[in-house]
Structure 1
């Protein structure tokens, strides 16, 4: 059991899960606002031996150096790699600090967002139809950049509605091949697809000037990641054509200065946040704590 567990910012657990945290520590402190800077984060952690945080704060080496008691950090958000994490995992591990994260808790909502916006665009619900006449997803050439869990789910949903699916990933995936999805080099995928969905880890940029030239005109681009998948200058040049870009959040788009661009559709709502998302998040966060401490709660 921990002596003191501190959530340095809102961690979006359901009430029963918040109550469950008391099974793992003698003292539990939950902050309900986002800390303003490293100094405030350091003060909040204090002498705690366990820290929880979401995705809105950075927990780096300068803070951890001042918090010698920390031995466990629970990321109540997605953890895919040290490079994309908002915790300095390599430094933490060098100190013997265990860092855990979660995955696959908000993907269902992201899939619904992509299908919803794409249907509205193609059919012209509340807007002009993309092709000038309503059309279905059936027969659409759809490309997925990054075939992880969310990318795979989007591919499955598009195929369910009749799209022809291609994908680019680090390598060809047998499961995707069995479903009939084509593995293509990135440039080929961009040039052949009518709709491209980027489903990449935070801070992964794959679309540069050459890639936007391959993508070409009269295309629809979705970004479901937490940060832009592109360099901004060629992205803006590409938007100058007959193209559209869909992002659910400002972070995925690249900044508020792009919100008023006539070719951008950003609803400024995280599509992966729902009642079910918080249920899954809570279960996984408590599961990580149970695995680390050996304490099981009902």
Structure 2
């Protein structure tokens, strides 16, 4: 058997070596790389004869699945799976799993942080302090008492709801199903239009697929209060960027906190969202904390060992 980690996982060299020893004792050859593959040819060279491929968030070419006849398992060290040809893999009997749960806290905390930053204008206040602005220039708002609409009340959305509740917010949710945990927390489920109309803060926590692309576009943004803010720490294409830019330009929203984009930063060309003063932007860091990277490695390498030993994979999708 052969396992290949095709890109780095942001863990220490010592940790990687320890995980590697565990895999090798399972009767498996383990190869790893400390750079991301940058071409299909590089992907194919690295994964040749692999039974198991471990990757993070680098887009996997379909050719890896089509041409690798030994491949039995794709072990994704990420929550989202839209960068992997999952349907193609499954059609060939290849097992696919993700690392669900590793970044729930990290993403939820960033959503809260962006909300506080926008409501208190912290970014501008830092600049203002250095440039002789006054206290009276920075009248802010509190989360307490605000209506928070959570679009996608899965594990990350639920953790985000828990944190907002701790600040004293009223919770509203939009989801395909209503979990007992969310109902017990006090989340009131509404249809999307109603949620958008009443919410002071809207935070997006959906996966990206054909049904969720452009969930928030021109029509949906027009339903929101002009005093409302929008947070997207999920996937860029869930919120239509052109429509969001138009809303911000015309002050149809009070602000937006955006961690995810149609393409991954750094941008190779000018993006109109970069010019919007009402937007708070971060380069897809929601998942990226020391704690979440360590937790991710634990999940991924446990899955790797389970596969090699013929056990059920806990985060199989």
TM-score (norm 1): 0.87
Q: Which residue of 2 aligns with 1:219?
A: 228
1:25: Cα distance to partner?
Answer: 4.9
Q: Which residue of 1 aligns with 2:151?
A: 145
Q: Which residue of 2 aligns with 1:70?
A: 71
Cα distance in 1 for partners of 2:112, 2:306 equals 36
Does the aligned pair in 1 maintain the 2:264–2:283 contact within 8 Å?
A: no
Cα distance change on mapping 1:191 and 1:55 into 2, 3 Å: same
Report matched runs for 1:54-133 at 5 Å.
54-60=56-62, 62-79=63-80, 84-127=81-124, 133=139
Cα distance change on mapping 1:140 and 1:166 into 2, 3 Å: same
Cα distance change on mapping 1:249 and 1:94 into 2, 3 Å: closer
Q: Which residue of 1 aligns with 2:8?
A: 10
Q: Which residue of 1 aligns with 2:197?
A: 191
Cα distance in 2 for partners of 1:250, 1:233 equals 11
Does the aligned pair in 2 maintain the 1:111–1:150 contact within 8 Å?
A: yes
Cα distance change on mapping 1:262 and 1:165 into 2, 3 Å: same
RMSD: 2.5
Work out the number of aligned pairs and report it: 288
Cα distance change on mapping 1:9 and 1:272 into 2, 3 Å: same
Cα distance change on mapping 1:253 and 1:211 into 2, 3 Å: farther
Q: 178-187 vs 137-146, which deviates more?
A: 178-187
Q: Which residue of 2 aligns with 1:231?
A: 240
Cα distance in 2 for partners of 1:149, 1:274 equals 18
Does the aligned pair in 1 maintain the 2:112–2:164 contact within 8 Å?
A: yes
Does the aligned pair in 1 maintain the 2:196–2:220 contact within 8 Å?
A: yes
Q: Could you list the per-position Cα deviations for residues 126-168 of structure 1 after superposition, in whole angstroms to 9, with x for gaps in the alignment?
A: 4369x96233211011111100111111111111110111111
Determine if the alignment matches structure 1 residue 179 to structure 2 residue 188. Answer: no
1:250: Cα distance to partner?
Answer: 4.4
Cα distance change on mapping 1:209 and 1:254 into 2, 3 Å: farther
1:284: Cα distance to partner?
Answer: 0.8
Q: Structure 1: give runs of 5+ residues left out of the alignment.
A: none
